[in-house]
Amino acid sequence: MTAAQDLVIAHAFPPHSDPGAVVAAQRVRERGRPVDVIQNARGPEHLDLTLDHDLERIAGDLVRRRHEVDSPTLVEEWPGIARFTERGLQQALDWDRHGPGYQQLHSRADHVANHVLAARLRLLRPDLEWTAEFSGPLTHDARGKSRRSPVHPGALPDALAEGVRRAGFHPPESVNVFEWAETLAHALADRIVVSDARQRDRMVAAVTDEALAARVRERVVIAEQPVLPPAFYELGDPGHDLDPGRTHLGHLGDARSPRAMDVVLDALGALPPPARQGLCLHVVTPAHEDLREEVARRGLADVVRVVDLPRHLDLLALYRRMDVLLLSDPGTGDRTGAGPALPSAWGDHRGSGRPVWGLVEAGSALDAEPLDHRTPVGHVSAAVQLLSRLSALRD
């Protein structure tokens, strides 16, 4: 079996089942090159301990070696980031010495530690070709709220700062780890990957150093979210019976927007009873118990089914059984200028082949996609009109 000459740094990677792990494995499959993977060992401090070994089918035997770093799963706190970097670096250098030598390095910023470790390795191995992928802006969350977490003084930030200076740029004046991770990728990565043109433009506009912005413009490329082959949507079994007399809507794998869920529930409640009975909304959410209580409080338990599907392949199988899938922008109103990035679940929605209803902010990345239906993210009456039309599909 051919040894890997690509190293993937993915704090989350299968069999861990969070969305970042799935996308990281999909990227490996998409590239089709053997890889070694450095990921984090999930500890009891992490909220989602779900392991799903079926997800290892995504990258399959392209993964030659996989090492779990023994570091706390503190994805936004410097002690966890520093320990993941220091211990992951030791493993990467050991593999590099005892193999054919790495040619390419890949990191994806669903966890900020990935870019920090990749930058540290790149400074020690300047011949490595580093691809740094961004799923969205690091310094703002999906709703446009600023994200901050302090870098602690020490040898690691000193080495990173010196590396940025040697590259001809200024390290951040702040001690915000999210700003640091963006700057490291901007100054040192050979290729900067984003999922859409809006994200690219916002990334460049946010860089105040014109020389660094020019470098980002030269290096940034757009790569659409990866899509699994149709066969993956047939591997799972959601064990979920569907009433053939109803139009089935799926709000699946999209936990970014409680506001969108409220809009859809408001719209269902506003429908005349005959139209409402022609629909069934299926929702997969980590907060399933809270949502069940809310659905019961609104008197919608007969038309809303809250589903707990921890296995990703079962979730994909449920995608294929829906008549329409829902996907939403987070409803930021674009107040901060960060703007919503493309939802991470868009690739799974697109790959399902099912019609997609987008609850969108005007001009957002999701609004630019080829949606089958679209309504404004906070507009209940528009959702009522669409639901009325969808209910009539079964007449």
- Mean per-residue pLDDT pooled into runs of 10, the chain (395 residues): 93 87 94 96 58 91 95 81 96 93 94 96 97 87 78 95 97 93 97 90 91 96 91 90 92 67 93 94 82 92 86 91 92 50 86 95 88 93 96 75
The per-residue pLDDT for 336 is 45
Nearest of 248, 120, 99 to residue 184 by alpha carbon: 120
The per-residue pLDDT for 142 is 65
Q: How far is CA 52 from the centre of its chain?
A: 17
The per-residue pLDDT for 194 is 93
The per-residue pLDDT for 225 is 87
Stated as kind and residue range, the H or E segment containing 372 is none
The per-residue pLDDT for 253 is 67
Collapsing DSSP to helix, strand or coil, 146 comes out as strand
Q: Which domains does the chain carry?
A: 6-222 (3.40.50.2000), 230-394 (3.40.50.2000)
The per-residue pLDDT for 81 is 94
Nearest of 292, 352, 363, 288 to residue 325 by alpha carbon: 352
The per-residue pLDDT for 394 is 66
Give dist(CA 341, CA 113) in Å, integer: 20
Residue 348: CB atoms within 10 A of its CB come to 28
**Which residue type, as a one-letter code, is found at position 83?**
R
In degrees, rounded to 5, the angle at the alpha carbon of residue 49 between the alpha carbons of residues 45 and 54 is 155
The per-residue pLDDT for 338 is 42
Residues in contact with 191: Cβ distance below 8 Å, sequence separation at least 6, in sequence order: 129, 130, 131, 132, 219, 221
Q: Enter the tokens of residue 259.
A: 């506001």
DSSP secondary-structure letter at 306?
E
Residue 158: CB atoms within 10 A of its CB come to 11
CA distance readout (Å), 139 to 76, 88, 225, 330? 11, 24, 21, 16
